[in-house]
Chains A and B, each alone.
Chain A
């Protein structure tokens, strides 16, 4: 069965960096686009990064552009999110999500990121 397992969350000071990882299994990882989606009590759900199935392209909303970088290693079925210059408003639960038929068909369990001094 499809499994997405995130790791790397934690508490970090403003301005510092954090790298999230997502281990995928149970499907052909290299044939799916992948997203990172975050959830906060205040702003709800928000996509923060997308990467094409082959890693040839990636996109970000303005809220994280220039600070976050998504990448993948298809040989290891791994997805990553490098988060730099973190701000308090980046505090959220971050989900690794598979993209299928323009919907998010599988979600990981989420990893908590808290940005606080």
Chain B
């Protein structure tokens, strides 16, 4: 059982927007602005697409955006494209008091482009 809760699946048609949620606690998501999101295509390594809640690494399209409210972070994919079909994982810093929660991941959301 993952520390952060994500919906197992999400879907949308090309051109639409989809939002994926990531719910934690005040000890992780709600306590720090260190939420990151990763995109993983089949048989590939995860790829960083959002860091520090709402920052995009160089080369990541601005169709990907992140936000946070309280203990829930969100990833929005706008203008869906076929290549956006992938698994998406959130991750949060959980503090150093309990090393088991140094970094906590969500269980992943499979995004299907209809």
Contact B38 A104, beta carbon cutoff 8 Å:
yes
Cβ of A47 < 8 Å from any Cβ of B? yes
Chain A residue contacts of B36, Cβ below 8 A: 102-104
CB neighbors of A among B70-107 (8 A): 89, 91, 93, 99-100, 102-103, 105-107
The number of A-B residue pairs with CB atoms under 8 Å apart is 59
Cβ of A59 < 8 Å from any Cβ of B? yes
CB neighbors of B among A23-53 (8 A): 35, 43-47, 50
Q: How extensive is the interface on chain A, given as a class?
A: 20 to 34
Cβ of B69 < 8 Å from any Cβ of A? no
Q: Please give the distance in Å from B53's CB to the nearest CB on chain A.
A: 10
Chain A residue contacts of B12, Cβ below 8 A: none
The residue in chain B whose Cβ has the minimal distance to the Cβ of A61 is: B100
Cβ of B63 < 8 Å from any Cβ of A? no
Measured CA separation A108–B46 after assembly (Å): 9
Contact A107 B45, beta carbon cutoff 8 Å:
yes
Measured CA separation A62–B100 after assembly (Å): 6
Contact B47 A45, beta carbon cutoff 8 Å:
no
